[in-house]
Chain A
Amino acid sequence: MLSYFMDGLAQILNLKLILFMNLGMLIGIIFGAIPGLTGNLGIIILLPFTFTMDPAVAIIFLMAIYCGGEFGGSVSSILLGTPGTNSAAATLIDGYPLAQKGFARKALLIALTASTIGGIASSLSLLFLAPPLASFTINFGPPEYFALSIFGLSIIAGISGKNMTKGIIAGCIGMLIATVGMDDISGAYRFTFGNLNMMRGLSLLSVLTGVFAIPNILEKVCLNLKSKEILRSNIVVNKKDTLTLKEFKQISPTIAKSSIIGIIIGAIPGAGTAIAAFISYNEARRSSKTPEKFGTGALEGVAAPEAANNAVTAASLIPLLTLGIPGSPAAATLIGAFLLHGMVPGPSLFREQGPIVYTIMIGILIANIFMYIQGRALAGFLQRLQVYQI
């Protein structure tokens, strides 16, 4: 293992690999920031471009898109009040109010820092803990998946505010909307009203637009009509706004706990980033000394889901590389990338192509570091986007 590790480390020091890693990260951030375009979609679109690449470069490029996509989702969530990915919906709960108070850059930096730490922790778990984690999570059966789903839904109690009844009704309406389309067990069509377009259920973009973007627009319309002057923006950009060391120490325990939650959920086949984000948010709120601040711009409320959703990224490769079972939809897409480059995910992968596998794992770790560098460079530019809301 040590020799494979050293070989992998040597192969990382390759300019082409570093360039593609950064390019993938930037593309991922852009894809994640645009609602409806997830990192997974970026992987699907750019997969054909990797045909002629080296296997390690190709997989690291695609994983960088995935990691960047998860951070990118927080950008539109924080700045525009519309999540770019479904896991960023948890970031919106505190990220958007924090930005509305004039701390958009702080919110972005918290999301970036938490995403980076979550991603690095996830990469380290992939590197050193893959076999024991895989053997634990493979035992998850239907009762465990059901318990996990109910645990994820328990977030409703946390964000319902003073009236949990309304929160439960809203949650049930959400689940009813999710039943539209074909039932996975029986194959029966539900609530399609004979429309062919409804048979695959409601698309992510339609739901994100309807639930987040349209109400935001209507709220701005009302705000604009109430004011006698035309509103350019009611947000003041604080040029000195940043993440202080004291605030970082404040959110560190939350980031650590959320990263662990994200790693465990990422290693569970089929769980995905959204459930990790919401469970982490719920746990952060439950264990906080000031839970009443959640929903109004709590720093931990931004850090928790972001750490968790990026912690899922590399951890979702654990069951993929060790057992051949994808840990997330993006990991399922990556199976195609692995097969394309002559690598068969499964128990024999480490034995047959150890150096390439270790190169990929180390590459994902370094990609997260570059994500931090890119994110810091973009933060100043991105915060200005908020000013141009009409």
Chain B
Amino acid sequence: MKIKLRTNLVGGCLTLLVSILIWIIIPFQIELSTYVEEVADARFVPQLLAGVILAFSLSLIVQSLVFKKDTIVELDLGIELQAILYFGILVFYVIMVNYLGFLISCIAMGLGTLLFLRTKEKKYYIITLLLFISIYYIFVGILKVPLPKMMGV
């Protein structure tokens, strides 16, 4: 299924939401000292940047809706969703490394990536496996750098 996106309009709306969100969370995320009052405090630069993003986002939306200046990009939803799925796999790997340990999660992610990309060359699977085992041995065995272990054991 293919969809067409107007990049100025979609980009402008997304960045507008992001700038509003940042503006809202600034008072909660940046606590100011009660002792010192100054114009250029810790919130100044983030607020300035959020304001600039807001202004230019509106500019993008106006460019698209009023002046009809836009770039239309065609996306294959099936392909894009699979790319998002792979991104999800990477996030899952980051989470699981603390539960399965470095070695098992890396091997699973590496071999899983090769399978996901339909790689048929066996040597790539062997190279990936050997690479992760070597990295693990170098860090843990030689450099004595602790790596995440399975379930913390």
Contact = CB atoms under 8 A, between A and B. Distances in A.
Interface of A: 163, 165-166, 168-169, 172-173, 175-176, 179, 183, 185-186, 188-193, 214, 217-218, 220-222, 224-226, 230, 390
Contacts of B57: 169
Interface of B: 8, 11, 15, 18, 22, 25, 29-33, 36, 40-42, 45-46, 49-50, 52-53, 56-57, 59-60, 63, 71, 76, 79-80, 82-83, 86-87, 90, 114, 116-120, 124
Given A169-B15, A218-B86, A221-B117, A190 B30 contact: yes
Contact of B118 (A172, A176, A192, A230): A230
Contacts of B30: 183, 188-191
B60 A166 contact: yes
SS of B interface (majority): helix
B49 A172 contact: yes
Of all A-B residue pairs in the complex, the 10 with the closest CB atoms, nearest first, are A188-B42, A183-B42, A186-B42, A172-B49, A218-B83, A172-B53, A190-B30, A191-B29, A176-B49, A169-B56
Contacts of A220: 117
A230 B117 contact: yes
B53 A189 contact: no
B40 to A, nearest CB: 8
A183 B32 CA distance: 11
B117 A163 contact: no
Contacts of A192: 29
A28 to B, nearest CB: 20
A224 B120 CA distance: 13
A173 B83 contact: no
Contacts of B25: 191
A166 B10 CA distance: 12
Contact of B63 (A165, A217, A224, A226): A165
Contacts of B119: 230, 390
8 contacts: A165-B63, A168-B56, A173-B15, A173-B53, A214-B87, A221-B82, A221-B116, A226-B76
Given A165-B59, A225-B82, A189 B46 contact: no
A225 B63 CA distance: 34
